[in-house]
Amino acid sequence: MTILVTGATGNVGRLVVDELVRAGTERTVPPIRALTVNPARAALPDGVEVAKGFVGRPESLHGVFEGVDVLYLAPVPAVAGAVAQLARDAGVRRIVTLTGGEGSDWHRIEPDVERSGLACTHLEPGEFMSNALIWAEQIRTTGEVRGAYPTAATAPIALEDIAAVAARALLDDAHAGRTYELTGPESLTHPDIVREIGRALGREVPFREVGREEAETLLARSMGEYAGWYLDGRASVIGRPQQVTRTVEEVLGRPATTFAQWAHTHVDEFR
C-alpha cells in the first residue's frame, strides 16, 4: 500500500518526502506518492510517484487516493474535513495531520478530520525556526535587528524535526490516536535568537527594541499582511513563555535540533 504526501513541494511536505526516501535506504517502506500542482517542476527524488493536484481544491484530487493506505495531510483548514472524507471513501486507513495548538487557526483541522472516522495522528508544532529568516534582509543590510516585544519567548522547532516526526508517524501504526505537541529544545526570546545568528556569522548582531508600529513596518517587507498577525502572537506570550516538550526526542530517539545548530546550517542566508 502507498503513502501519499500532500503539499509535497511545501516547506514541510517536501522534507517529509525526503525523510521517507531516507528511511527507505535503511528499511523496506511502502511506495511514496507525492501530490503537487506542477509535477514537471517538482524535482522530487527518483522513485517517488508524482501525482498532480492541490489539496486545497478537493475537486482536483480525483484518483490520487487510489491504493493509498496512509495520508500526510498538509494544513489547509477550509477543506481538511472534505479531503479526509474523500480519502476515507477511497480506502485510506490512517491520516497524519499538520495542525497547530489549541486557539490557532489550524487547530480546527483536528475535529474536522476526525469526523471522517479515520485513525489520526495530529502534529502541533509551535513557531518554526525558519521564521528567523524574516530578519535576513535587516541583518544583511544594517547589521542589526529592530523589533518589538523582546521579552516574549517561544520554543521554535526546526522544520526538519517536524518532517522526521511526520515520517515516523506515517510508517508506524503505533502513533495512531496520538496528538504530539512539537517544540524545539529551548525557550528563546528574539534577542536570544538574534544572538545565536550573530555567533553563526562570527560577529555581534544587536537586537534593538522599537515600537510596535515601526516593528510592523519592518516585518511587512518580508511578511506582508501577516506582519501584524505575527506581532499579535508575540504580544500574547509576554510573561507566558512557551514550555518545551520532549516529544521530538521521545519519537525520534535523538535530541531536537537547537537553534544554534539551525543557525550554523542556514548562516549563508544571513550573510
CATH code given to domain 2-125: 3.40.50.720
Q: Over the stretch 222-247, which tens digit does the pLDDT of each residue have?
A: 999 999 999 999 999 999 999 999 99
The pTM for the full model equals 0.96
Query: What does DSSP say about strands 207-209 and 145-147: parallel, antiparallel, or unpaired?
Result: parallel
CA distances from 231 to 3, 154, 257 (A): 37, 13, 25
Task: Delimit the domains of the chain by residue range.
Answer: 2-125, 129-156+185-243+254-270
Q: In this structure, how many other beta carbons lie within 10 angstroms of the beta carbon of residue 63?
A: 10
Q: Over the stretch 27-74, which tens digit does the pLDDT of each residue have?
A: 899 999 999 999 888 889 999 999 999 999 999 999 999 999 999 999
What's the rounded Cα separation, in Å, for the pair 132 and 260? 12
CATH 3.40.50.720 given to domain 129-156+185-243+254-270 = yes
User: Average pLDDT in the 1-13 region?
Assistant: 95
Q: Do domains 2-125 and 129-156+185-243+254-270 have the same CATH topology?
A: yes
Residue 71 cell numbers, joined: 495520508
What's the rounded Cα separation, in Å, for the pair 182 and 179? 10
Question: Residue 122: pLDDT band by 50, 70, 90 thresholds?
Answer: very high
